Amino acid sequence: MSAYNKTDAHPSTFILIGIPGLEAVHIWISIPFCVVYFLALLGNCSLLFIIKTDSSLHEPMYLFLCMLAVADLVVCTTAVPKLLSLFWFHDGEIRFEACLTQVFLIHSCSTMESGFFLAMAFDRYVAICKPLRHSAILTHSVIRGMGLAIVLRGIALLSPHPFLLYWLPYCSTNIISHTYCEFMALIKIACTETRIRKAYSLIVAFLTGGVDFVLIICSYVLILHTVFQLPSKEAQLKSLGTCGSHVCVILVSYTPAFFSFLTHRFGHHVAPHVHIFVANIYLLVPPMVNPIIYGVRTKRIWDRFLKFFSFPKPLD
């Protein structure tokens, strides 16, 4: 029996079908997805614990990193458990309200991640271009204010998304060709004009991720300009080394995000399974990679990690 009557404004449930065309190998795809999710949980929780318990790490870069870790945990935990339930138990049913909640959490926290990247880029700019004023500019109250502003921006700009979707009629189907509820995935199955909603989503994406990315590029142009004016090669390499982890994290996060965003709106010739697979990579890989990059490339975090997990030598 159909999950809803065609005269209803919207269904009581949606059906997620996973990755179209790859249903036969869902169980095999779930194995690396599960491993990556576990590593993301372990890495981000370890990072939060290490920074919280080591007062010497209570500096702007590491505090912004904690905020990023929390956003990463929310994003992947919102999507992955249901994804694994779908892959393992063929449980693709999700309630309408839960689907809209998933849309809000994934998109708002992804927007917050972008804001934290920008805040970290600003920290690197101040540390390299205005080193003597770093502690005076980025005080703890300023850091809290920046973090709060980023969170409120994500909530304010993305809160309309669930309501825009709630007021749409879904009279043709309740089947979503995706592994999780996404704004554009729901827009595509609505049976009414959605041009205004798409325009709002596009504007929000530009005002958040787009503007953030441009400002990050600008900050690194200024950083490079300052670095290449340093007198010695050693000083240049040391300054660039402090930015290496941040640049790697930005590339890992923004590349699949831009691919997924552009494919939804302009990539009509991209195979659905390719697009949805990359959309899952965007949710899974950055939360796993971020703590690894910062843990390995940041000596202070790595030393603290080794010290915490080292066993005391037995006495002779």
What's residue 136's pLDDT? 94
Identify which has the larger pLDDT, 108 or 248.
108
Q: Which residues partner with 94 through β-bridges? A: 14
Identify which has the larger pLDDT, 196 or 240.
196
| Cα(141)–Cα(109) distance, integer angstroms | 22
Alpha carbon 38 to its chain's center: 16
> Could you tell me the pLDDT band of residue 100, with boundaries at 50, 70 and 90?
very high
Of the listed ranges 32-36, 264-268, 278-282, the least confidently predicted one is 264-268
> Could you tell me the pLDDT band of residue 266, with boundaries at 50, 70 and 90?
low
Instruction: Tell me the mean pLDDT in the region 104-121.
Output: 95
> Could you tell me the pLDDT band of residue 2, with boundaries at 50, 70 and 90?
very low
What's the token pair of residue 128?
């390299």
3-state secondary structure of 215: helix
> Could you tell me the pLDDT band of residue 86, with boundaries at 50, 70 and 90?
very high
Instruction: Tell me the mean pLDDT in the region 78-86.
Output: 95
Of the listed ranges 45-54, 116-125, 239-248, the least confidently predicted one is 239-248
What's residue 288's pLDDT? 92
48: pLDDT strictly greater than 70: yes
143: pLDDT strictly greater than 70: yes
Instruction: Tell me the mean pLDDT in the region 230-258.
Output: 80
What's residue 265's pLDDT? 63
> Could you tell me the pLDDT band of residue 90, with boundaries at 50, 70 and 90?
very high
| Cα(93)–Cα(263) distance, integer angstroms | 25
Identify which has the larger pLDDT, 84 or 275.
84
216 and 121 Cβ atoms separated by less than 8 Å: yes
pTM: 0.90
80: pLDDT strictly greater than 80: yes
What's residue 8's pLDDT? 54
16 and 176 Cβ atoms separated by less than 8 Å: yes
If you ran DSSP here, which 8-state letter would residue 57 be given? G
175: pLDDT strictly greater than 90: yes
Instruction: Tell me the mean pLDDT in the region 58-70.
Output: 93
Q: Which residues partner with 169 through β-bridges? A: none
Identify which has the larger pLDDT, 241 or 4.
241
What percentage of the chain exceeds 90 in pLDDT? 58
117: pLDDT strictly greater than 70: yes
Cα atoms found within 13 Å of the Cα of residue 26, Cβ hemisphere only: 21
6: pLDDT strictly greater than 70: no
- Note the pLDDT tens digit of each residue in 176-189: 999 999 998 999 89
Q: What mean pLDDT, rounded, does the chain reach?
A: 87
| Cα(279)–Cα(273) distance, integer angstroms | 10
What percentage of the chain exceeds 70 in pLDDT? 93
Identify which has the larger pLDDT, 145 or 315.
145
Contacts 24+ apart (CB under 8 A), 31-40: 33/80, 33/83, 33/84, 33/87, 33/280, 33/284, 34/84, 36/284, 36/285, 36/288, 37/76, 37/80, 37/84, 37/284, 37/288, 39/288, 39/292, 40/72, 40/73, 40/76, 40/284, 40/287, 40/288, 40/291
252: pLDDT strictly greater than 90: no
What's residue 275's pLDDT? 84
Q: Which residues partner with 139 through β-bridges? A: none
